Structure 1
Amino acid sequence: MNVVQILERLIGFPSVVGTPNGEILDWIVGYLASHGVAASVLPGPEGDRANLFATIGPAERPGYILSGHVDVVPAGEEGWLSDPFQLRQDGGTLYGRGTSDMKGFLAAVLASVPALRAQRLERPIHLAFSYDEEAGCRGVPHLIRHLPELCAPPLGALIGEPTGMRGVRAHKGKAAARVVVHGQSGHSARPDQAANAIHAMVQVLSRAVATAESLAEGPFDPVFEPPYSSMQIGTLRGGQALNIVPDLCVAEIEARAIPGIDPASLLEQVRAVADALRTDKIDVTWEPLSDYPALSLPSDAPLATLIEQLTGLPTLGAVSFGTEAGLYQKAGLPSIICGPGDIGRAHKPNEFVYVDELAACQKLIESMGAALA
Structure 2
Amino acid sequence: MHAVEILERLIAFPSVAGQANDAIVEWIRAYIEDCNATVTVLPGPEGNRANLFATIGPADVPGYILSGHMDVVPANEPAWSSDPFTLRAEANRLYGRGTSDMKGFLAAALAALPALAAKPLARPIHLAFSYDEEAGCRGAPHMIARLAELCARPEGAIIGEPSTMRAIRAHKGKAAARVEIHGRSGHSSRPDQGLNAVHAMAEVLAEAVVSAERASQGPFDTAFEPAYSSLQAGTIKGGQAVNIIPDLCIAEFEARAVSGVSPTELLAPLKARAESLRAKGFEVNWELTSAYPGLSLSADAPLACLLAELTGEEPLAAVSYGTEAGLYQAAGIDAIICGPGDIARAHRPDEFILTDELTACQSMIEALGNRLCP
Which bracket does the TM-score occupy, shorter chain normalised?
over 0.9
- Counterpart residue number, 2:19: 19
CA distance in structure 1 between the partners assigned to 2:246 and 2:219 by the alignment: 39
Superposed counterparts of 1:54-133, under 5 Å: 54-133=54-133
- Kindly, what percent of the aligned residue pairs are identical? 64
Amino acid at match of 1:21: N
CA distance in structure 1 between the partners assigned to 2:7 and 2:287 by the alignment: 36
Write the deviation string for residues 268-291 of structure 1: whole angstroms up to 9, x where unpaired.
111001111014731100011110
Amino acid at match of 2:55: T
SS at match of 2:251: strand
- Counterpart residue number, 2:184: 184
* TM-score scaled by length of structure 1: 0.99
Residue 300 of structure 1 deviates from its aligned partner by: 0.6
SS at match of 2:47: coil
Amino acid at match of 1:352: F
- Counterpart residue number, 1:348: 348
CA distance in structure 2 between the partners assigned to 1:78 and 1:302 by the alignment: 45
CA distance in structure 2 between the partners assigned to 1:75 and 1:322 by the alignment: 21
**Which blocks of at least 5 consecutive residues in structure 2 are unaligned?**
none
- 4+ residue runs of structure 1 moved beyond 6 angstroms? none
Residue 166 of structure 1 deviates from its aligned partner by: 0.3
SS at match of 2:108: helix
Write the deviation string for residues 55-114 of structure 1: whole angstroms up to 9, x where unpaired.
000000000000000000000111111110010011111000000000000000000001
Tell me, yes or no, if the aligned pair for 1:184 and 1:281 is still in contact at 8 Å.
no
- Counterpart residue number, 2:5: 5
Residue 38 of structure 1 deviates from its aligned partner by: 2.3
Superposed counterparts of 1:194-233, under 5 Å: 194-233=194-233
CA distance in structure 2 between the partners assigned to 1:120 and 1:288 by the alignment: 46
CA distance in structure 2 between the partners assigned to 1:192 and 1:352 by the alignment: 56
Write the deviation string for residues 234-277 of structure 1: whole angstroms up to 9, x where unpaired.
00111111111111111100111111111111111110011110
CA distance in structure 1 between the partners assigned to 2:154 and 2:70 by the alignment: 22
- Give aligned pairs, total: 373
Residue 120 of structure 1 deviates from its aligned partner by: 1.2
- Counterpart residue number, 2:237: 237
CA distance in structure 2 between the partners assigned to 1:219 and 1:250 by the alignment: 30
CA distance in structure 1 between the partners assigned to 2:327 and 2:74 by the alignment: 24
CA distance in structure 1 between the partners assigned to 2:261 and 2:318 by the alignment: 16
Tell me, yes or no, if the aligned pair for 1:29 and 1:38 is still in contact at 8 Å.
no
CA distance in structure 1 between the partners assigned to 2:197 and 2:345 by the alignment: 39
CA distance in structure 1 between the partners assigned to 2:332 and 2:262 by the alignment: 16
- Counterpart residue number, 1:361: 361
CA distance in structure 2 between the partners assigned to 1:188 and 1:319 by the alignment: 48
Amino acid at match of 2:190: R
CA distance in structure 1 between the partners assigned to 2:238 and 2:66 by the alignment: 43
CA distance in structure 2 between the partners assigned to 1:219 and 1:346 by the alignment: 29
User: Is 1:51–2:51 an aligned residue pair?
Assistant: yes
Amino acid at match of 2:272: A
CA distance in structure 2 between the partners assigned to 1:21 and 1:208 by the alignment: 36
Residue 209 of structure 1 deviates from its aligned partner by: 0.6
SS at match of 1:249: strand
User: Is 1:372–2:372 an aligned residue pair?
Assistant: yes
**Which blocks of at least 5 consecutive residues in structure 1 are unaligned?**
none
Q: RMSD over aligned Cα, in angstroms?
A: 0.7
Residue 119 of structure 1 deviates from its aligned partner by: 1.4
Residue 116 of structure 1 deviates from its aligned partner by: 0.5
Tell me, yes or no, if the aligned pair for 1:79 and 1:349 is still in contact at 8 Å.
yes
Write the deviation string for residues 194-217 of structure 1: whole angstroms up to 9, x where unpaired.
000011111111111100001111
- Counterpart residue number, 2:315: 315
- Counterpart residue number, 2:285: 285
Tell me, yes or no, if the aligned pair for 1:163 and 1:338 is still in contact at 8 Å.
yes
Residue 9 of structure 1 deviates from its aligned partner by: 0.3
* TM-score scaled by length of structure 2: 0.99
- Counterpart residue number, 2:333: 333
- Counterpart residue number, 1:254: 254
CA distance in structure 1 between the partners assigned to 2:372 and 2:124 by the alignment: 7
Amino acid at match of 2:314: P
CA distance in structure 2 between the partners assigned to 1:81 and 1:198 by the alignment: 40
